[in-house]
Amino acid sequence: MTVLLGLELRGRSVVIAGAGTVATRRVRRFVGDGALVMVVAPEVSEDIERLALHGDITVHRRGIEEADLDDAWFVLAATDDPALNDAIASWAEARRVFCIDASDASKGTARQAAMSRHGETAVGVLSLGSPDPGRIRAVRDAVAAHIDAGEVDLRRRRTGEGRVILVGSGPGDPGLMTVRGKQALAEADVVVTDRLGATELLVALPPDVEVINVGKSPDRHPVPQHEINRILVERAQAGNTVVRLKGGDPYVFGRGGEEVHACVEAKVSVEVVPGVTSALSVPALAGIPVTQRGVSTSVHVTTGHAGADEAAVASMAAGATTVFLMGVTALPGIVEAAVGAGCDPLTPFAIIENGSTARERVTHGALSTIVGIASETQVKPPAVIVVGTVAEEGILASSIAATPEPKGD
């Protein structure tokens, strides 16, 4: 009978004999688990050399000796000599130390599973008969894809300590949400959501997951920030996993810092899952590179709530790309500030509404015309405003054609 066990190797000694392809492939996993890895081999691969240089592992450039296993918790015998690997497995068994024999799994006391991690959960697949690495990897990948697609309910079944996970859901397209973000949603007992971002994913949640909508709009703030903080903390203190689903990235004008501070102050465990920020992704999806060789080498991102501050004005005046989030209402003030800073009246503007969604619309204009155009076309939030040469319609194709390749030294 094969019994599957999870071994905690963090801070414990793992000895790897050999430094070829097999050892190199597996050493990173042990390092990732926090083990104290010692590699013993006359010659080592470039990857193992780099890990040693960075201090991630210890390397002894010589043949393995029986005494090397004296303080080990786990051993991997992965030399090019099957007889030596068998001997190492025997040394390990005499010390009651689990060992993987890379030459013949039947002669070792352990097998390494093909693993995938999904937040607090890990999935491992093993061959019970003759080793078949290709088959177990295929099974692992199929199961992992199913989980990461949000098809599995990952909520805790036993009562545990509550926690908060701040998830950046990206600009709106569910496909742009990170894998970890989707995993967090699958772990949620409570979801506290904004009105923007990948809210479409909420439809797939189990019906007994509590969803609390605290979304704000430019002229409506039904749930003030201090109340949002209270909801997060109280639901977590009740033992729930609380996902705070936010549009874009939690730390880019998303008040994520305030919510983390509230959790830390209340001694509630908190995790932040970064998201794809609308400031960069929405222009990119609309064909606007915020930086482009020969056109713009810097970008300034700012909130447009109150118009253009001094830094944004200086950015526009210097010809850098300037990106305003939440700036539709303040567009006349932004234009006025640019004119006051002496910006060229032909400075390109682009306004991208509902970026990444089926309702996306891009409006182009210039400093001297954009307010009138936006009024005529009834531009509405949510929208991202891009100012600078990169915002000119068709700039991507024309700038690539016009920019020569850099020459070598």
Dump pLDDT digits (tens) for 324-348: 999 999 999 999 999 999 999 999 9
Amino acid symbol at 197? G
User: Does one domain contain both 192 and 271?
Assistant: yes
H-run or E-run covering 217: none
Backbone region of residue 326 per phi and psi (left: phi > 0; alpha: psi in -120 to 50; beta: other values):
left
Statement: residue 397 has pLDDT above 60: no
**Mean pLDDT of all residues belonging to the chain:** 90
- Give the pair of three-digit tokens for residue 295: 């056109």
User: Does one domain contain both 78 and 118?
Assistant: no
pLDDT score recorded for residue 359: 92
The vertex-21 CA angle with 16 and 24, nearest 5°, equals 50
Statement: residue 289 has pLDDT above 60: yes
Among residues 263, 268, 272, which one has the least CA distance to residue 245? 272
User: Does one domain contain both 271 and 284?
Assistant: no
Residues 93, 106: Cα–Cα separation, whole Å:
13
Residue 286 falls inside a structural domain:
yes
Residue 8 falls inside a structural domain:
no
Looking at 152, 181, 211, which one is the last position of a domain? 152
Range of the domain at 51: 13-112
Looking at 257, 276, 295, which one is the last position of a domain? 276
Residue 4 falls inside a structural domain:
no
Segment 82-98 mean pLDDT: 95
Residues 182, 176: Cα–Cα separation, whole Å:
10
User: Does one domain contain both 299 and 345?
Assistant: yes
Residues 213, 223: Cα–Cα separation, whole Å:
9
User: Does one domain contain both 97 and 130?
Assistant: no
**Residue 328 is part of a domain; what is its CATH number?**
3.30.950.10
**Residue 263 is part of a domain; what is its CATH number?**
3.40.1010.10
Task: Give the confidence band of 395 by pLDDT, cuts at 50, 70, 90.
Answer: low
H-type alpha helices, 209-268: 225-237, 256-265
Statement: residue 396 has pLDDT above 70: no
Burial of 379 (0-12, 13-18, 19+ CB in 10 A): buried
Residue 404 falls inside a structural domain:
no
**38, 30 contact by CB (below 8 A):** no
Q: Total structural domains in the chain?
A: 4
Residue 74 falls inside a structural domain:
yes
User: Does one domain contain both 235 and 202?
Assistant: yes
Looking at 276, 295, 318, which one is the last position of a domain? 276
pLDDT score recorded for residue 217: 61
Residue 5 falls inside a structural domain:
no
Known catalytic residues? 194, 216
